[in-house]
Amino acid sequence: MTGKHDAEVERLFGTGGPLGPAVGGFRPRKSQTEMAKAIAHAIVEQQTLIAEAGTGTGKTFAYLVPALLWGGKTIVSTGTKNLQDQLFSRDIPTVRKALQAPVSVALLKGRANYLCHYHLERTLANGRMTSREDVGYLREISRFLKMTQTGDKAELARVPENAPVWNLVTSTRENCVGQECQYYEDCFVMKARREAQQADVVVVNHHLFFADVALKDTGVAELLPSANTIIFDEAHQLPDTATLFFGESVSTSQVLELCRDVLAEGLSHARDGANWGAVVSVVEKAARDLRLTFPQDIVRLSLPQIAPSSDFFPALAKLKEELDGMLEVLEGQAERAETLEQCRVRGVELAQKFKDWQYDPKAKVPAGQEAVYWVEAFASSLQLHKTPLSIAQIFNNQREGVPRSWIFTSATLAVKNDFKHFAHQLGLYDEPAVSWPSPFNYGEQGILYVPQGLPDPNSMGYTDAVLDCALPVIEAAGGRTFLLCTTLRAVKRAAERLRDEFEKRGLKFPLFVQGDRGRTELLDQFRKAGNGVLIGSQSFWEGVDVRGEALSLVIIDKLPFAPPDDPVLAARIEVMEKKGMNGFVHHTLPEAIINLKQGAGRLIRDEGDRGVLMLCDPRVISKPYGRRIWQSLPPFKRTREQTEVIEFFRTGAGKRA
């Protein structure tokens, strides 16, 4: 099918077009030009398109060029805040300048990313800082407030993004004072939303997009009605993100946060109204006791799996009762201050969520609305979840109404060119789906190596067996390795063992371990080191771009099958099997393949890259489904011989940048 803008797309992406001078090292790529044509066509015709683009296609430009020229009001949603910042500060300005397109662009994040004048002032006044480190951070934040235009915490690198102090100086939907706030005119959240309202292109992330669609809070809901084009980059993450937000959850930490605020506001505005310390402490105790009904560190159980005799049920009843008691006190005092009234409203919402978390196995649920009730315990909090079994219907409802174009793109949406798994999860049943191959020559540039003689992945000592195979290869590669594990336990074991082995063998490869520092910092240091070994789990499988020689070997310990104790997965599979489908073949396997393609995608990032993908799981060879897995991976040369891999590194000196 030819589109009305095909010739223009050819000119823009072709030799002598405007993108060449604007982008260092830009070369016309057939797959990029064809993808841009398909997206331009979908935009003009207000259609939906599922677009898979192999690594190196240049998908970002392939959607940005048509979006900036013909997309009208466009929302671009991406997987992480890092990618969002990259699009906003690097990719869009580059394309806009090359095309000389007069479009305005805004960046919109969730409110937890913006400094709140009111909460900063309150925290400074209350002086409730627990550590000296927090006091120092708070000083930095106060200084930042006077200089920043946006209030976006990503601009303040000196205070780590996950520092607890941020919770005290940002707002949540529940504790934002709204128009009553004396700082309303200067509010960074409101300012970001106003800019987004007026901009031609707004960059958001998936969490924000779906949180908003579910909560009607964060500004996207106001943008959606006027949007002509919606583009989801890293679209393979959508089913999980959407499931997270179309579900409902309530946690003991929300109760403790409410207690903290009730105490502060009660003492500030109604000191004589109640013994606030006593009112709050019984609720706090009930919340902590509820967490303690599960002695383990981390628990995931569906409601039917909890024994009827468990302490969990009476503890939950007790928390509801104590929360109601605190609400009675607030009822009598709320009119004394706007902030106390706010605490009361939050308390009522929380109490309602606890009441709603009730499951009647006998009740008839309408098709498409089935949900799983489950609990998740962390070190110091307990969450109660209600998760929809399928989001296809809900997401379809969101897409109905005003005609507009919806573009879903990622390097990993298909399993062996079959898009069914992705499309059906989102209810995109008969929408066009196209895959454009990577321009890389995988057969020349890389090897897929499956070692021989590894034990069953569930056996004791499996991680050590993987490391025994990996050490000679890491040494041959001169470090420059990502070791991607499927569990945090394996990350920990691999770190201990490699630290030990490197010392014993006198190998000077710096070791970077997930959790030691923030993800961005770890990656920067890994790139700088040039011969590092990075050990990470799920968060390093995707969205990580290390080009050139710093990364020449990607080792994957096991096929990334979802953990068998996941209550939502178990319930989904049960429903599929009742319909006569095979849960493993139709859900677990495609999910693992898409995940694996992401991990494999870290290796070859441009035409000059060379490297080895070492997939350690013997099931790729021994199980009947193994074939489907390696046929979905890039067409690397394949081997089971360690000597061949070591020779590859010796002759090619690893990756050439």
pLDDT for position 217: 58
Q: Chain centroid to CA 154: how far?
A: 16
pLDDT interval class at 367 (50, 70, 90): confident
* Contact partners, residue 383, CB within 8 Å, separation at least 6: 249, 250, 251, 252, 375, 376, 377
Is the pLDDT score of 538 beyond 80? no
pLDDT for position 201: 97
pLDDT for position 245: 86
Determine the Cα–Cα distance for residues 31 and 38; give it in Å rounded to an integer: 11
Percentage helix, strand, coil, to 5, in the chain?
55, 15, 35
* Contact partners, residue 144, CB within 8 Å, separation at least 6: 115, 155, 156
pLDDT interval class at 656 (50, 70, 90): very low
Is the pLDDT score of 655 beyond 50? no
Determine the Cα–Cα distance for residues 236 and 246; give it in Å rounded to an integer: 17
Length of the chain, please? 657
Hey, CA dihedral for 511, 512, 516, 522, is it positive or negative?
positive
CA angle 628, 631, 632 (to 5 degrees): 90
* Contact partners, residue 543, CB within 8 Å, separation at least 6: 79, 80, 82, 83, 234
Helical axes 59-70 vs 6-13, angle rounded to 10°: 130
CB 567 within 8 A of CB 301: yes
DSSP for 177-207, please give it.
Answer: -GGG-TTGGG-HHHHHHHHHHH-SEEEEEHH
CB 248 within 8 A of CB 258: no
pLDDT for position 654: 43
Is the pLDDT score of 1 beyond 70? no
C-alpha distances out from residue 153 to 143, 148, 193, Å:
13, 10, 16
**E strands of 499-626, at which residues?**
511-513, 533-536, 553-556, 611-615
Supply the DSSP symbol for 24.
Answer: T
Name beta bridge partners: 157: none
pLDDT for position 545: 78
365-379 burial, b at 16+ Cβ within 10 Å, e below that, comes to eeeeeebbbbbbbee
Helix (H) or strand (E) holding 321: helix 312-333
CB 410 within 8 A of CB 598: no
**pTM exceeding the 0.85 threshold for the entire prediction:** yes
Determine the Cα–Cα distance for residues 102 and 532; give it in Å rounded to an integer: 43
Average pLDDT over residues 146-155: 93
- Using alpha carbons, select from 595, 209, 551, 585 the residue that is nearest to residue 410: 595
Six token digits for residue 276: 């606030």
pLDDT interval class at 131 (50, 70, 90): confident
Task: Please report where in the chains the tokens 């009827």 appear, as a residue.
Answer: 308
Q: What is the pLDDT of residues 329-362, one digit of tens each?
A: 999 999 998 889 989 999 999 999 999 898 777 7
> Which of 23-27, 134-138, 141-145 tops mean pLDDT?
141-145
- Using alpha carbons, select from 533, 487, 541 the residue that is nearest to residue 510: 533
| Helices and strands, number each (H, E), in the chain | 29, 18
Hey, CA dihedral for 28, 33, 35, 39, is it positive or negative?
positive
* Contact partners, residue 605, CB within 8 Å, separation at least 6: 55, 56, 545, 546, 547, 548, 551
623: amino acid identity, one letter: K
- Using alpha carbons, select from 564, 185, 285 the residue that is nearest to residue 277: 285
Mean pLDDT (the chain, rounded): 90
Supply the DSSP symbol for 419.
Answer: -
Query: Cα-Cα-Cα-Cα dihedral of 541, 106, 56, 482, to 10°?
Result: -20
pLDDT for position 214: 67
Average pLDDT over residues 32-45: 97
- Using alpha carbons, select from 417, 592, 548, 437 the residue that is nearest to residue 59: 437
Q: Chain centroid to CA 458: how far?
A: 27
Q: What is the pLDDT of residues 202-231, one digit of tens each?
A: 999 998 898 877 666 556 777 888 899 999
Average pLDDT over residues 112-131: 85
C-alpha distances out from residue 221 to 72, 197, 225, 634, Å:
18, 11, 8, 39
Determine the Cα–Cα distance for residues 340 and 407; give it in Å rounded to an integer: 45
Supply the DSSP symbol for 633.
Answer: S
Determine the Cα–Cα distance for residues 425 and 75; give it in Å rounded to an integer: 22
279: amino acid identity, one letter: V
Q: What is the pLDDT of residues 399-454, one digit of tens each?
A: 888 899 999 999 999 998 899 999 999 999 999 999 999 988 999 999 999 999 99
